[in-house]
Amino acid sequence: MAPWHVALIMGLVEGLTEFLPVSSTGHLILAGHLMNFTGPKAESFEIAIQLGAILSVAVLYRDRFAGLLKSSPARNFSGLRGVLLLFLTSLPALVLGFFAHKAIKAHLFGPRTVALAFVVGALLMMLAERLAARTSRARRVGGLDSLDPGLALGVGFFQCLSLWPGFSRSGATIMGGMLLGVDRRTAAEYSFLAAVPVMCAAVGYDLLKSWRLFENGDLGFLAVGFVVSFISAIVAVKGFIGLVSRMTLVPFALYRLALAPLVWYFWPA
């Protein structure tokens, strides 16, 4: 495969952008093109290193995931109820993704559609912030243990927007939670937790089809990307949780609007 520094940079890009509302897809496209790292094997590598980012959330929120094994009177997001909430959030995207996978690959994975997803996602985030500002704090849902099945399913329908490459899974779920009356920090934390089942299913499905592209000599390259993705995702998640308590999503929306023309221009021919 490519030189080791490529694995390091791609892992860094994946980890830093996967859970931020900026779309890791667009960033990986740009990084891969600038380093001449493209093609089926490169695409499979990008999918594989997402496992590192997934693992970071499992580690950071290990108490929450461990709590799903046994109900706790002090926590509503635990035991079977917590599992049900994650299942309801994951279900719409899993069903739609299963039936529309080929159509998405064929029609939504191009420079125009990805750049458009950047723009649409940015505008909807701005709208979510404006509507949230009009909602009284007393009426907003705060804390993971305050979520109910209706909210979980509603966030799941918003998560379907992330099947549009470039939209951003975290952006879709955070924005959805806010529009449904959840405070920004809780929406962000739930977005991280809800990412694990959906991303595991999507990554596992893609790797089952593409793992034959890798050879024994590629294992070290994959390991570098995986580890760097894991470490950088931990930094990104911790930093983002701190930021959303003090700032809105508008700066991320503006960043997406600035990046959209670059994705269009630099998309590999």
Label residue 262 by pLDDT band (50, 70, 90).
confident
- What is the SS3 assignment for 70-98? CCECCECCCHHHHHHHHHHHHHHHHHHHH
For the chain, which residues make up each domain, given as ranges? 4-266
Any idea of the CA torsion for 248, 177, 188, 193, to the nearest 10 degrees? -170
For residue 139, pLDDT over 60 is answered with no
Provide the percentage of residues in the chain whose pLDDT is more than 70. Answer: 97
Tokens of 113: 């559609």
What DSSP string describes 181-222?
TB-HHHHHHHHHHHHHHHHHHHHHHHHHHHGGG--GGGHHHH
Q: What is the CA angle 36-42-47, rounded to 5?
A: 140
Tokens of 114: 């990805």
- The pLDDT score that the predictor gives to residue 216 is 80
Amino acid at 249: L
pLDDT, tens digit, for every residue of 172-195? 999 999 999 899 999 999 999 999
Tokens of 234: 């931990």
Question: Could you give the maximum distance between any two Cα atoms of the chain, in Å?
Answer: 57
pTM of the complete model? 0.89
For residue 136, pLDDT over 80 is answered with no
- The pLDDT score that the predictor gives to residue 169 is 93
CB 30 within 8 A of CB 210: no
